[in-house]
Chains A and B, each alone.
Chain A
């Protein structure tokens, strides 16, 4: 099968959806003439013209809100946030308008918008440009949150997000844009809320999403050398997360370790852990392990940055704790 980059997979998803539906358009900072800050929208202006690939001022609340208004009356906007660090400026519109429209209108309105862009840690970008903020969206009823880990998932998930009748927050790990993976030529969709087993195993369940999936796969390779067979599951959709998949895996392995790039307090990992502890308590042979970023803003110095983020060794240590294996 052909291999393409993560960013190319995202572009293909948008291009295909824009070709099949005139009401889909892309809007954001630098998406058109500059071809995208991360080159996700490369060539799209040439293909679709300025009516449908639209450069905005650096004014996130304004253009996110505009997209939400357009979605309310039937268009299907894709709003690119250059990074989710800036999307905070649009949070009022996303939380108070997009997420609430269906409910407070008694079902009269929907808001089929996708807000997508880079998230997660970058490389020495410092405290304001290097954050995993998915929890603030996953917290809000009315929003759906997706975070792909591979080019294959990125394409199939983004197409689903664009067709979804509710607002979808689609966070792309900044470090993943240049990663390569197999993506078929033919069309496929990955359902909302459906996770994926990225590596089968029987001794412990590693639960991750976005970039941390790759960290877990690396850790699983190391663990295999020591005879520990880790199953790596990728949530892909954070809200709603795939409970069935988690339950099936934990019932098999009896151990779970959640690995997330974000902070620990009121986090997605915290919510998943809580659910496992309450629903799968009888199947657990050890407390649910959690690996996460250190609870501090991201430091610039790259030695400190590395020390802040989850590492393969952290995952291995957590697995050994959960499996009561002495290192």
Chain B
């Protein structure tokens, strides 16, 4: 199943620099029929809200309202929206540390996520998780992990539990390209294959592990080929800035997991416009490169498709954007007004409530 080619999507000859490639028309047509226009517009709305939320998070960080690490997702929206869009409510999501947008895709509210980023008691993890540790058990969203690759064995265990209890549920897990050389990756995929677990491993290949280009740390550019060594399906989407392609690929992998209890390794080639985190000015790449990548912006391409197919007018889409901006701003205002956790919370939730002294 592993796909050929090591060509970068931007060099794939579809378009010269300056022209925006179109979303896959064939898949678009099929999804329109399958999902309906409103659902596609919802997906668009989600991606716009992700973008605006992350821009607001960046501003809040610069204002000192958000502390610690803050890894923004801007540019990768098609990945979160397309992949989580392919899930049922009973499925599980495990994420890494760049997971704000994924949490949104899973239905977590901007206000609650932003409150967590601000370290407030009303945040999704009561202010004790922060940017890298967003959890919502009801929505089956598990993650943010702060350790590179630490989430991969855990997600494998979530899939194991789903199969053990015959839940007919699948677990998808996100990881960056930087996790693949980790032992955790190899140990987990091997287990998932020998035990037939319903899990989809998604490598979000945005080209860089922190500031190190993928080709400097990985023996192969197409990491989905590593699936072969685990007797597992491997799929690469070279243009994962196309939300339709992501949706279709992950849908197939999820259905395969659901029906056959078999794992898939998927590499989604994407790009982040910002640095690794807010403290990274990303000087390791050229302005030309970023500009070139922005030519295949997942949101702009979606805008174009919606307009060309007369699903919404440009003005209507602008209105969606305006509302997304307002929502992000409101989330920041909300978070700012919330309380920090009480000092009593400091020692809460280390263990289940326990009569023995631990301190």
- Whether A125 is near chain B, meaning CB under 8 Å from some CB there, is no
The reply to whether B150 and A96 form a contact with Cβ atoms under 8 Å apart is yes
Residue of B nearest to A73 (CB): B161
Question: Which residue of chain A is the closest to B159 with respect to CB atoms?
Answer: A69
The segment out of B1-9, B70-78, B119-127, B201-209 that lies at the interface is B119-127
Determine the distance from Cα of A67 to Cα of B354 in the docked complex, in whole angstroms: 23
Contact of B187 among A63, A67, A68 (CB under 8 A): A63
Q: Give the size of the chain A interface in residues (CB under 8 angstroms).
A: 47
Establish whether residues A66 and B153, one from each chain, have CB atoms under 8 Å apart when the complex forms: yes
Q: Which of B288-316 contact A (CB under 8 A)?
A: none
Q: Which residues of B contact A23 (CB under 8 A)?
A: 164-165
Given contacts A62-B188, A69-B157, contact A109 B137 (CB under 8 A): yes
With contacts defined as CB atoms under 8 Å apart, how many contacts are there between chain A and chain B in the complex? 158
Scan residues 101-124 of chain A and give those whose CB is less than 8 A from a CB of chain B.
102-110
Q: How far is the CA of A10 from the CA of B348 in the complex (A)?
A: 32
A103-B349 contact given A63-B187, A108-B135, CB 8 Å threshold? yes
A75 close to B190 (CB less than 8 A):
no
- Chain B residue numbers with a CB within 8 Å of A192 are 354, 356
Contact between chains at B161 and A102 (CB < 8 Å): no
- Considering the chains assembled together, what is the distance between the CA atoms of A50 and B280 in angstroms? 49
Name A151-170 residues within 8 Å CB distance of B. 164-166
A56 to B186, CA, bound (A): 14
A70 touches B161 (CB 8 A): yes
Q: Which of A28-86 contact B (CB under 8 A)?
A: 51, 54, 56-57, 59, 61-75, 77
Whether, in the assembled complex, A262 has its beta carbon less than 8 Å from a beta carbon of chain B, the answer is no
Query: Smallest CB-CB separation from A25: which chain B residue?
Result: B164
Residues of A within 8 A of B102 (CB): none
Residues 168 to 191 of chain B near chain A (Cβ within 8 Å): 183-184, 186-188, 190-191
Which residues of chain A (167-210) have a CB below 8 Å from chain B? Answer: 192-193
Cα separation A97 to B145 with both chains bound (whole Å): 8
Name the distance in Å between A255's Cβ and chain B's nearest Cβ: 24
In the bound complex, CA of A57 to CA of B183 (Å)? 13
Number of interface residues of B (CB under 8 A): 50
Q: CA–CA, A316 to B195, complex, Å? A: 54
Residue A243 interfacial (CB < 8 Å) = yes
Q: Is B21 an interface residue (CB 8 A)?
A: no
What residues of B have a CB within 8 angstroms of the CB of A64 in the complex? 153
User: At the interface, yes or no: A142 with Cβ under 8 Å from chain B?
Assistant: yes
B156 at the interface (CB under 8 A from A): yes
Closest 10 CB pairs of A and B: A69-B157, A65-B153, A62-B187, A106-B126, A69-B154, A193-B356, A66-B157, A107-B349, A70-B157, A59-B187
26 A-B pairs with CB atoms under 8 Å apart are: A56-B191, A62-B183, A63-B191, A65-B157, A65-B187, A66-B188, A69-B94, A69-B153, A69-B154, A71-B157, A73-B92, A73-B162, A75-B161, A96-B146, A102-B350, A105-B128, A105-B133, A106-B123, A106-B126, A108-B125, A108-B135, A109-B142, A141-B350, A142-B350, A192-B354, A192-B356
List residues of B whose CB falls within 8 A of some A CB: 92, 94, 123-130, 133, 135-137, 142, 145-147, 150, 152-162, 164-165, 183-184, 186-188, 190-191, 194-195, 348-352, 354, 356-358
